[in-house]
Structure 1
Amino acid sequence: MAKKPKLTQRQKRQVAANRKRRLNDKQDTLSAASADTSSLQSGTVVGRFGKHADVEDASGQVARCHIRRTIESVVCGDHVLFDAPDEQQEGVSGVIEIVKDRQSVLTRPDFYDGVKPIAANIDQIIIVSAVMPSLSLNIIDRYIVACEDIGITPVIVLNKVELMDEATLSETRQQLADYESLGYAVYFTSCKTQQGIETLNGILKDKVSIFVGQSGVGKSSIINQVLPDAQELVGAISDNSGLGQHTTTAAKLLHLPAGGDLIDSPGVREFGLWHLPVERVTWGFIEFRDFLGGCKFRDCKHLNDPGCLIREATEMGKISPARYASYHKILTSMEENRPSHSGPF
């Protein structure tokens, strides 16, 4: 019987480190399992950055907390049980022990970390677009597919309407009418003239919302309209927890004056769909659903395949040609952007 090769000193150190990590993880698991939850407080994660999170309790006090290593992820909007300090202290003074079940979770694909959660317990996603820099219906469709995939209601907002003349506005309304016919809410806003801002406040009231959209469409301007003291509130959270934040990289949850919460996270600046199976993207186009499973071939690509019900429905005017073309544009983009097998995955 051949002898096993001797381990090098480096390999021995690695084995010892792995054994120590497994023992620590086991101890953490036992500690979490045996924790007396009656001694823990309920709270909501209102800030997440690095290895720590800010948790707000029922009284509005914010404690900066460590995150138990056995917890897979913590994001803004999470409802948690945490071990709070006996008295309000500066610095990292609490520990998140348990993350409660999420009602919903918004995720994005990452080339190196797989699918990453970026916000939890969201009621609606506000898709902000504008004619400047340019109105992209395909990007709106991408966001809608992401919403449909995770079951979060999308709301479409066309901002900067003051930049459009009557002809452009009429054309744009006609383009967005396809979405209204599908049951999606569409609103027109202007931060300069205040058009639609009061209506938007009503939409946000008593809900947890998150804004998405291209750079330059005015997301920050709208946030400043519905939450005029946003920067001051971010600073107040930092002061309350005793530590500052890097606001350009930190995710945060802010309370709206009229009721409801707004999650502002860098993670929503880009939305890829390449992690989704093609079938989920097809399902994300809700007008396709009545025809799914009825095509002649099970592997129908819904393009030039004979007996394709979706293509036929488009030719008959039952499906918008623009949406049909957008669907195939999304699939092409997914294939181009999908990581190769030799990549990080």
Structure 2
Amino acid sequence: MPRKIRDKQLSLRQMARMRGARRPAPLTMELPDDESALGPEEEGRVVAHFGLNVEVETDSGERLRCAVREALLEEPVCGDRVVSRRVGAEQGVIVSVHERLSVLRRPGPHQRLLTVAANVERIVMVSAAATLNTGLVDRYLIAAQKAGIEPLLVVNKIDQMTDRNALEAAFAPYPRMGYTLFQVSALHETGIESLEEALRDKTAIFVGESGVGKSSLINRMVPGEILRTAEVHAATGLGRHATTTARLYRLTRGGFLIDSPGVREFGLHGVIREEIPGLMRDMAPRLGQCRFKDCRHMREPDCALRAAVEAGEIAAARLESMRRIAESVPARNPYF
């Protein structure tokens, strides 16, 4: 009788092979100098970016591996609407990028800006019930507010929840501020239908730490896609990276979903220290009510934010989160 391999081990290996098999090989073809050798212009959407190559889904539903013209002012990213011209049946070149309706960026190394995705209408912040990180949630909420993108909060793995009271306490401030919160389980498919309905006909991006189950949720929401999933490290409690590059998927109910690589920290782009309170929904209405115009909301007398905390109108954890985030961003923007 053959030795039985545990399902989880087998599926991880299989999915890793399948993920690797789908990754396109580098595009090494020579682009023709004669423009007449290129096919007609085709509209499409960027679904993935692999180094020098971009994968495009045309409006007719075909997939092309495309090179990018050096003359483009913006490097195409997931979610971009582009115009391409074919060089052969399955290859092409991107000749232009349409104006972006929205863009999500984060700081990269050496003061470089990394564009995560474009034309996003929903930022879906995924947390795991057993490893909540509301500080990271607050950073994404500030980024969403700055970019004018509607955020949704998702707590996954509620089947592993050991302390519901702690979960309710941690997330209690967010519904009061008007944020929509979903409690789901990718394993048991709990709450998935409500989340899918909220994303109908929208372009959304999943963000959050590694190991919170973003890929598992997509496996439930996008039939036919088998994404590699990763477990949380038993010793450190930190997630392992399953997604290594952003990728766009078509939702069965209409719309698109971008899966982004997991992060443990999220730097804020284009935000300076004094802006932080104004980008937090529970604090913004109280700005200008402090005694001092340059109030830092620390120990200054007659601080409106501290008074709101004492009155129970703002959660103390929210004020502390605001202070930590404000201390982590520059007094003036180094990217300007």
Settle same-fold status: TM greater than 0.5: yes
1:102 match: 100
Give the conservation status (yes or no) of the 8 Å contact 2:243–2:260. Answer: no
CA deviation after TM superposition for structure 1 residue 113, in Å: 4.9
User: How far apart, CA to CA, are the structure 1 residues paired with 2:308 and 2:270?
Assistant: 28
Counterpart check, 1:129 vs 2:127: yes
TM-score (norm 2): 0.76
User: How far apart, CA to CA, are the structure 2 residues paired with 1:322 and 1:65?
Assistant: 47
Give the conservation status (yes or no) of the 8 Å contact 2:214–2:259. Answer: no
2:142 match: 145
Amino acid at match of 2:57: E
Q: Deviations over 1:68-120 (max 9, x none)?
A: 212222101001122234x514xxx3221211111111111012252221100
1:197 to 192, 211, 222: 192
* Greater helix content: 1
Give the conservation status (yes or no) of the 8 Å contact 2:136–2:266. Answer: no
1:284 match: 279
1:117 to 115, 118, 127: 115
Count of residue correspondences: 286
2:70 match: 69
Q: Secondary structure at the match of 1:280?
A: helix
User: How far apart, CA to CA, are the structure 1 residues paired with 2:290 and 2:168?
Assistant: 33
CA, structure 1 residues 160+83, in 2 after alignment: closer, same or farther (shift >3 Å)?
same
Give the conservation status (yes or no) of the 8 Å contact 1:227–1:257. Answer: yes
Give the conservation status (yes or no) of the 8 Å contact 2:55–2:65. Answer: yes
What aligned pairs does 1:50-65 form with structure 2 within 5 A after superposition? 50-65=51-66
Give the conservation status (yes or no) of the 8 Å contact 2:200–2:255. Answer: yes
CA deviation after TM superposition for structure 1 residue 226, in Å: 1.1
RMSD: 3.0
TM-score (norm 1): 0.75
Give the conservation status (yes or no) of the 8 Å contact 2:211–2:262. Answer: no
CA, structure 1 residues 201+43, in 2 after alignment: closer, same or farther (shift >3 Å)?
same
Q: Secondary structure at the match of 1:74?
A: coil
CA deviation after TM superposition for structure 1 residue 51, in Å: 1.7
Q: Secondary structure at the match of 1:287?
A: coil
What aligned pairs does 1:1-345 form with structure 2 within 5 A after superposition? 39-71=40-72, 72-85=74-87, 87-89=88-90, 93-132=91-130, 134-165=131-162, 168-231=163-226, 249-266=244-261, 270-273=265-268, 276-334=271-329
User: How far apart, CA to CA, are the structure 1 residues paired with 2:290 and 2:40?
Assistant: 58
Give the conservation status (yes or no) of the 8 Å contact 2:208–2:262. Answer: no
CA, structure 1 residues 107+269, in 2 after alignment: closer, same or farther (shift >3 Å)?
farther
Moved over 3 A (4+): 247-250, 267-270, 332-335
CA deviation after TM superposition for structure 1 residue 52, in Å: 2.0
Structure 1 alignment gaps of length 5 or more = 1-30, 233-246
Q: Secondary structure at the match of 2:145?
A: helix
CA deviation after TM superposition for structure 1 residue 330, in Å: 1.9
User: How far apart, CA to CA, are the structure 2 residues paired with 1:320 and 1:252?
Assistant: 36
CA, structure 1 residues 302+154, in 2 after alignment: closer, same or farther (shift >3 Å)?
same
Identity of aligned residues (%): 40
Q: Deviations over 1:235-255 (max 9, x none)?
A: xxxxxxxxxxxx954332111
CA, structure 1 residues 50+218, in 2 after alignment: closer, same or farther (shift >3 Å)?
same
CA deviation after TM superposition for structure 1 residue 188, in Å: 0.6
Q: Deviations over 1:11-66 (max 9, x none)?
A: xxxxxxxxxxxxxxxxxxxx9xx99xx95221111111212211221111122222
Structure showing greater radius of gyration is 1
Q: Secondary structure at the match of 2:204?
A: strand
